[in-house]
A and B are shown apart, each in its own frame.
Chain A
Amino acid sequence: MYLYDQYDQAMVDARVAEFRDQAQRRLEGKLTEDQFKPLRLMNGLYLQLHAYMLRVAIPYGTLNSRQMHALADIAEKYDRGYGHFTTRQNIQYNWIKLEDAGDILADLAEVEMHAIQTSGNCIRNISSDHFAGAAADELVDPRPYAELLRQWSSFHPEFSYLPRKFKIAVIASDTDRAAMRLHDIGIQIVKNDAGELGAAFYVGGGMGRTPMIAPCIKEFVPLDRLVTYAEACLRVYNRHGRRDNKYKARIKILVHEMGAEEYTRQVDAEFDHMLSQGIEPPFAELERIRTFFEDPLFEEGASAEIDRSDPDFALWVDRNTHAHKADGYVSAVISLKPVGGIPGDATSEQMRLMADLAKDYSFDELRVMHTQNIVLPHVRVADLHALWTALEEAGLGSSNLDTIEDIIACPGLDYCSLANARSIPVAQKISERFAANGKTEALGKLKLKISGCINACGHHHAGHIGILGVDKKGVENYQLLLGGSEAEDVSLAKITGPGFDEAGIVDAVETAADVYLREREDGERFLDTYRRIGMAPFKEALYG
């Protein structure tokens, strides 16, 4: 994985000093809260309902065991002994004191981590495929391109006061595991007919209150023009994105209102102009970055044999592992979705265990998934049983990846000041319901996503089943949505009809699941059945 050189370290250290200074000026009253707000936000510090929340960047979700240990230590030292892994492959701490924030950033800097641009109207942490560098189906490892863009976007002088936040995802496989087309910019590394690598740019996707799927505006940008093209995309947005209404300020609205064609024309014109500005790093820089992402030394001829005599283990292998490019290896997913638990939460103890297991079994590497689970990317099949046994003992052995229990939920009203409704208790009740009624297995792959308000941090638009918390005359109410997908078959979910109360929404999810179980044809997932039979049978069962 990428390691800092003296330059990267100097930048992160400078940021720590800058933030200490800003926090000091705030504490001294030299900065008003209004002036301090955008500054703390660019360092990931939010003011929530009960305390400050600090969001730490995990670039493209990749970290090593030392970093995971540091995250565990921070949780213990400055928070309540746990952290929350987010849908942007980051981690956030919910109980932080402003006075401690500078020290936390300094602790992070020691392990080459930071909270730079994890919030605010700037280019956010860049996300990627959580199986990058491991997946059997990828063209190349997308992370070197994400790293190149991370450096370009860090402290970008022109793009630090954008109309709104800006999220970029980079993938390099036709299977989209990063919700690429629901980003402000989605980049897919592709190969052209001449066999050269390049980048396809999808611009103007997003969730939030006006979800949109990004159109492809450029099918092939040569790799030695990547930064320049991204810069052109951003400049057109910075100049013309709406600033009169924060709900219309994301680039998706600009692309939509201007039209993808006109936006592309302006980007191309800007790009042509910028080619003469010398802002593209030399190709040698990309090559330098690539050397950090070379394959670890996989054992030749490692055995792919699995002893399936223990059915619990066999189920975990079937559900929680993913095909690897090296024979005899898999990527193993540690579910942070225990039945009745808080999706994405991990205690310091658990973080340390995961770190140690990564060291023992996965070349010292871990990944955070946007679905709020943790991946050990390179595990020998022969080690799976030992790994699973250790996870089981720590309560981390849930075999529920991609099932209805593998719920994405935003923090909701338990933490978030913008929330209309709680998300976490609904997620807990649903996972308990389906674990108890035994339907999880029968339902197979089913993505359920919950947001506590229209901002859609829980990606409810992209759930096969989505749940949206709304405020109905001061009472928490939940809308049910069906038919979304964030994957390569991307689509936006549709609302079924009137909302439900907390107990009602759990029943409604089960009702929808039952319709699928009754109507499905061979091999269909919930989403496939919904797409074939449409909304009507679900409505009938829910409201009929």
Chain B
Amino acid sequence: MDNLSSENDTLIRYRDDEPVDHAAVTVDSFLDQSSASAVRVEPGDDARELLPHLERLSLVEVNFPAFGDGRGYSSAQILREAGYQGELRAVGDVLVDQVAYMRRCGFDAFDPDAPLNEADLETALSRWPEVYQGAADKRTPIWSKRHA
């Protein structure tokens, strides 16, 4: 079943390519079957298990069953640090107040349980004029600008 049809109005993407047209499978089934190109990472999953298979992945969904469970941020960082270029989508309890940090950790798509208000989203994403740390988004940290 295609759960990402065009009428999915909660999906927000910061990518130009076409979304994957089939559902994401669990990490376990992904590792078992070689055909899937979309996988869903739950908070307890080890994102590093995917690293040997990055080239056949086009979509990684990272699930946030509760926004306060921050394991998904590390999963995202780990995938990007390993060079994953495909879509990295935060799904679940994703709120506007988390999206800026999620972008920093390498997420480039969001499919939240509850739709995000576009104006709030815009404000949140343009909030931080600078960043203190290096992260997956490759923004230039303050320390680097200071010693440019």
Contact = CB atoms under 8 A, between A and B. Distances in A.
Interface stretch (A278-286, A365-373, A444-452, A458-466): A278-286
A285 B102 CA distance: 27
A265 interface: no
Max count, chain A CB within 10 A of own CB: residue among B100, B141, B144, B145: B141
A518 interface: no
A539 B145 CA distance: 62
Contact of A14 (B117, B129, B134): B129
A277 B97 contact: no
Interface stretch (A73-81, A158-166, A473-481): A158-166
Nearest to B137: A157
B73 A10 contact: no
Nearest to B72: A161
Nearest to A121: B68
Nearest to B105: A157
Interface in A413-457: none
B103 to A, nearest CB: 8
Interface in A5-44: 5, 7-8, 10-11, 14, 17-18, 21-22, 25, 30, 35, 38-39
Contacts of B132: 11, 151-152, 154-156
Interface stretch (A102-110, A235-243, A374-382, A508-516): A235-243
A288 interface: yes
A97 interface: no
B20 interface: no
A273 interface: yes
Interface in B122-148: 123, 127-135, 141-147
Nearest to A151: B132
Contacts of B97: 22, 35, 39
Nearest to B80: A277
Given A7-B142, A7-B146, A161 B105 contact: no
A238 B129 contact: no
Nearest to B145: A7
Nearest to A158: B73
Contact of A157 (B104, B120, B143, B147): B104
Interface in A260-289: 273, 277-279, 281-282, 284-285, 288
B52 interface: no
Contacts of B100: 157
Interface in B86-125: 95, 97-98, 100-102, 104-105, 117, 120, 123
A162 B147 contact: no
B130 A238 contact: no
B125 to A, nearest CB: 12
Interface residues of B, number: 37
B77 interface: yes
B127 A161 contact: no
B146 A160 contact: no
Interface in A155-194: 155-163
Contacts of A159: 70, 73
B95 A158 contact: no
Contacts of A279: 133-135
B73 A238 contact: yes
Given A11-B128, A155-B128, A279-B134, A285 B74 contact: no
B147 A160 contact: no
B133 A152 contact: yes
Most chain A beta-carbon neighbours within 10 Å: one of B70, B74, B128, B130: B70
Contacts of A278: 134
A516 to B, nearest CB: 46
A238 B74 contact: yes
Given A18-B127, A22-B97, A158-B77, A281 B71 contact: no
A21 B125 CA distance: 13
B128 A38 contact: no
A516 B48 CA distance: 57
B138 to A, nearest CB: 10
Contacts of B130: 7, 10-11
Contact of A273 (B69, B81, B143): B81
A151 B127 contact: no
Nearest to B47: A239
B70 A160 contact: yes
Interface in B27-76: 43, 67-71, 73-74
Interface of B: 43, 67-71, 73-74, 77, 81, 95, 97-98, 100-102, 104-105, 117, 120, 123, 127-135, 141-147
Interface of A: 5, 7-8, 10-11, 14, 17-18, 21-22, 25, 30, 35, 38-39, 121, 151-152, 154-163, 235, 238-239, 243, 273, 277-279, 281-282, 284-285, 288
Given A7-B145, A238-B70, 17 more contacts: A10-B130, A11-B128, A14-B127, A18-B127, A155-B128, A157-B73, A157-B100, A157-B101, A158-B101, A158-B135, A161-B68, A235-B77, A243-B43, A243-B69, A279-B133, A282-B144, A284-B147
